[in-house]
A and B are shown apart, each in its own frame.
Chain A
Amino acid sequence: MTEPVRVHLRVPGTAPMPELMALLRDIEAAGFDGAGILDSQMISRDTFVVLGQAAGQTSRMSLFPAVTNPFTRHASVLAGAIQTVEEMAPGRVKFVIGTGYTSASTIGRKPATLAEMRACIGEVKTLLAGGAVDWGGGARTELAFSSKRPIPILMAASGPRAIELAGEVADGALLLVGFNRGIVERALGHLERGARRAGRRLEDLEIVWAVRTGTAATLAEARRLARPTAVHWGILRWGGQWLEPAGLRLPPLEIPDAVRQIYPDLSHAQDWDAAIRATSFVPDDVVAQLCDAMGLIGTPEHCADRIAEMTTLGVRNLYLMPFQTFVGPEQEVRAFRDVVFPRLRAAGLR
């Protein structure tokens, strides 16, 4: 049997704690390999409070903040916090850090620069390995309770330069780029370039593909529900960067102001129906193309087939990001438990 496909799921801490813990137990029981807990201080419960509880409520799957950032907590706090969670779930914890998205935009700050990312990853890595960091001002400090057990540090990245930095400085990358052949090949090229700068190879890195995911009874309904995410990423955020490798040519579109009024933004909208309505300027055929390039959007059977297809490119590790931040991922838990995982097993991929 080939290497199995591992599947992790994003969990936003937007539901009350008992519901969140029940959900995490269900996710583990459904066969997922891990759960990433959203770190966005305004919209989600504290990621380390949720992770601390989750450690005691699960026994097998991996846990990680998804995604933390280098500016809302000092690097020494980040290192201490992830080490604390790892003590409670030995060998099951990853540290995933990115430039900050809603964690930055909601407090009026720009995402971290790549220089800040490089510095923070270096500091956290040193502290977790038991080394001392020179903070300036005459302060040189170790983490007093480093277990020295490896905690993989993954950098979340979606642009070419960030991906290269991840390849250079992190133990792996969480790649939020899209999910078709052209995109995957292009992203791996960037990652490899970064890895080489540090004298490493792609095989030395843990590569996780962050995949926008939405299942429904029909392909058309899944695509309709995916509209805010497809339009946000494909039209507002991607620019030309991933459209070309994805093989997409979009017609010129005028973006109405209403789209930018959605809080905190189109793809994290609290009112999903309003967000869908705000995307009416984009024709269905364009949304369909974006959905196919971006993630796993369709019936559960369609998603299973697409995963199997992507394994031919070496894709083995997925992080599913269900569209909605304010609706739990229960639908995806059922779809993967009942349809996708059995189909992957039948194909020798689980």
Chain B
Amino acid sequence: MTAARFGIVLLPESLAGWGALCREAEDSGFDLLGVADSQSVFREMYVALTLAALNTSRVRLGPLVTNPLTRHLVVTASAVSSVDELSGGRAILGLGSGDSAISTIGAPPATLAGLEDAVVTLGRLTGGEPIDRQGRRWQVHRSARRVPVYLAAEGPRTLELAGRVADGVIAGMGLTPDVIRLSLEAIERGARASGRTLADLDVWWFAKTNVADTRREAIAPITMALAASANHAFRFTLEGKGVPPDLHERVRCLQREYDAHHHEIAGAGNAGLTDRWGLTEFLVDRFAIAGTPDDCAAQIRRAMGAGARQFISTGFVPDPRGFMRRFMGEVAKLSS
């Protein structure tokens, strides 16, 4: 079995020490460094990526994820190409339908058609291709390299779209073996529709992560992240997503109470939602790699057994440095 590979998403909650944190992520052995985009909650993502690019030399890096709504597509293409130039060709572009970045401004998320257009357009624009649109020729003149576009997908239809049009997938429907198989089938359907195979896509599995001496200690600080997953992954529908019917109403209750203004903020209002609706165990099993190093390694092996190979972890914990060292030092070794 090929060894697992790991990426990490960091939240630019502060830029003090941010460059050093990014360097540590690279030094810890992560292959992919993503920066979250939520303009009212976190520091400007492209400034954070600028510092990340200046402070690293190997890791691939980019938005994880941005959306096609809060910036014009040409601005996004220009900005990510600027980061690509600055990092010597290491940029990737993660795109999704929009979570807290758009709910905090009262906008509806991007539609599937909007996402498809954005993935295709951004790939072409970063490659320097001209696109005739709105009576003008859109072109990012100085772009030297097509930046690969990764589509974040939490349901079969978006996963299929990713398989059809994107370069990579941030698969977020869950990490249980049945959900991984369901996800891979959807990605493969899309890949076939565009004359490709699953092997042509760079697939990463999104996991809410933490590691501690006990399972309880690992899970407590990330319940807000699990609530975020329940809110986001099931926001359009619960059908076709492998959620037991007896949990549907509880998930909907959690979603009604979810506060996007505290998105992914540890200890804030969303942290209590998973326990209140009796969803913590379900959400850990479904979306997390969290527990003791042995627990985490077992969860990774289980996912790998179903076909997952690359995992994006979340540094959404009070001590991201300590997490990165322990996760890559102990968990990654145990799971290979």
| Residues of chain A at the chain B interface (Cβ within 8 Å) | 13-14, 16-17, 41-46, 48-53, 71-74, 76-77, 79-81, 83-85, 87-88, 105-109, 127, 135-139, 141-145
Q: Which residue of A lies closest to B69 (CB)?
A: A74
B131-155 vs A, CB cutoff 8 Å, 1 = contact: the mask equals: 0011110111110000000000000
Q: Return chain A residues, CB-CB under 8 Å to B107.
A: 135, 137, 139
A73 to B105, CA, bound (A): 13
CB distance from B268 to the nearest CB of A (A): 10
Q: Which residues of B1-57 are within 8 A (CB) of A?
A: 14-15, 39-44, 46-51, 54
CB distance from A313 to the nearest CB of B (A): 38
Q: Which of B47, B71, B106, B261 has the most CB of A within 10 A?
A: B47
B53-80 vs A, CB cutoff 8 Å, 1 = contact: the mask equals: 0100000000000000111101101110
Not counting A48-B46, A87-B15, a sample of 19 additional A-B residue pairs whose C-beta atoms are within 8 angstroms of each other reads A17-B86, A42-B141, A45-B85, A48-B44, A49-B83, A71-B72, A72-B75, A73-B71, A73-B72, A76-B40, A77-B70, A79-B39, A80-B43, A81-B39, A81-B44, A127-B40, A141-B104, A144-B41, A145-B42
A243 to B240, CA, bound (A): 67
Q: Return chain B residues, CB-CB under 8 Å to A79.
A: 39
**Is A46's CB under 8 angstroms from B79's CB?**
yes
**Is B261's CB under 8 angstroms from A88's CB?**
no
Asked whether any CB of chain A lies closer than 8 Å to the CB of B103, the reply is yes
CB distance from B141 to the nearest CB of A (A): 6
- Interface size bracket, B side: 35 or more
**Is B43's CB under 8 angstroms from A87's CB?**
yes
**Is B104's CB under 8 angstroms from A139's CB?**
yes
A127 to B40, CA, bound (A): 9
Asked whether any CB of chain A lies closer than 8 Å to the CB of B335, the reply is no
Asked whether any CB of chain A lies closer than 8 Å to the CB of B82, the reply is yes
Other-chain residue from A49, A51, A74 in contact with B105 (beta carbon distance below 8 A)? A74
Q: Return chain A residues, CB-CB under 8 Å to B77.
A: 41
Q: Return chain A residues, CB-CB under 8 Å to B86.
A: 17, 49, 53
**Is B105's CB under 8 angstroms from A76's CB?**
yes
Q: Return chain B residues, CB-CB under 8 Å to A135.
A: 104-107
**Is B105's CB under 8 angstroms from A139's CB?**
yes
With A74-B105, A87-B43, A108-B135 given, is the CB distance from A45 to B75 under 8 Å? no
Q: Which of B83, B86, B133, B138 has the most CB of A within 10 A?
A: B86
**Is A107's CB under 8 angstroms from B85's CB?**
no
A76 to B74, CA, bound (A): 18
Other-chain residue from B48, B82, B139, B261 in contact with A45 (beta carbon distance below 8 A)? B82
CB distance from B69 to the nearest CB of A (A): 8
CB distance from B26 to the nearest CB of A (A): 19
**Is A141's CB under 8 angstroms from B140's CB?**
no
**Is B140's CB under 8 angstroms from A42's CB?**
yes
A87 to B13, CA, bound (A): 12
B76-109 vs A, CB cutoff 8 Å, 1 = contact: the mask equals: 0111011101100000000000000001111100
A88 to B135, CA, bound (A): 39
A127 to B44, CA, bound (A): 14
Q: Return chain B residues, CB-CB under 8 Å to A81.
A: 39, 44, 46-47
**Is A88's CB under 8 angstroms from B105's CB?**
no
CB distance from B50 to the nearest CB of A (A): 4
Other-chain residue from B85, B104, B106, B140 in contact with A41 (beta carbon distance below 8 A)? B140
**Is B105's CB under 8 angstroms from A141's CB?**
yes
Q: Return chain A residues, CB-CB under 8 Å to B134.
A: 107-109
With A42-B139, A53-B50, A88-B15 given, is the CB distance from A73 to B41 under 8 Å? no
A79 to B43, CA, bound (A): 10
With A87-B15, A139-B106 given, is the CB distance from A108 to B136 under 8 Å? yes
Q: Total A-B pairs in contact (CB under 8 Å)? A: 142
Q: Which residue of B lies closest to A136 (CB)?
A: B106
A308 to B46, CA, bound (A): 41
Other-chain residue from A50, A77, A80, A142 in contact with B82 (beta carbon distance below 8 A)? A50
What are 12 sample pairs from A and B whose C-beta atoms fall under 8 A apart?
A41-B140, A42-B78, A49-B49, A49-B86, A52-B44, A52-B46, A52-B47, A53-B50, A76-B105, A77-B71, A84-B44, A107-B133
List the 3 shortest-distance A-B pairs measured between CB atoms, nearest first: A137-B106, A108-B134, A139-B106
Q: Return chain B residues, CB-CB under 8 Å to A74.
A: 39, 69-71, 105
Q: Return chain B residues, CB-CB under 8 Å to A48.
A: 44, 46-47, 79
CB distance from A38 to the nearest CB of B (A): 11
CB distance from B288 to the nearest CB of A (A): 25
**Is B82's CB under 8 angstroms from A46's CB?**
yes
**Is B141's CB under 8 angstroms from A43's CB?**
yes
**Is B75's CB under 8 angstroms from A41's CB?**
yes
Q: Which residue of A lies closest to B49 (CB)?
A: A49
A84 to B74, CA, bound (A): 22
**Is B39's CB under 8 angstroms from A77's CB?**
yes
A81 to B79, CA, bound (A): 13
**Is B70's CB under 8 angstroms from A46's CB?**
no
Q: Which of A17, A84, A109 has the most CB of B within 10 A?
A: A84
**Is A142's CB under 8 angstroms from B40's CB?**
yes
A220 to B15, CA, bound (A): 50
Q: Return chain B residues, CB-CB under 8 Å to A44.
A: 78
A105 to B78, CA, bound (A): 16
Other-chain residue from B39, B49, B138 in contact with A107 (beta carbon distance below 8 A)? B138
Q: Return chain A residues, CB-CB under 8 Å to B79.
A: 46, 48-49
**Is B39's CB under 8 angstroms from A80's CB?**
yes
CB distance from B55 to the nearest CB of A (A): 11
**Is B136's CB under 8 angstroms from A105's CB?**
yes
Q: Which residue of A lies closest to B83 (CB)?
A: A49
A191 to B329, CA, bound (A): 63
**Is B105's CB under 8 angstroms from A46's CB?**
no
Q: Which residue of B lies closest to A78 (CB)?
A: B39
Q: Return chain B residues, CB-CB under 8 Å to A127.
A: 40
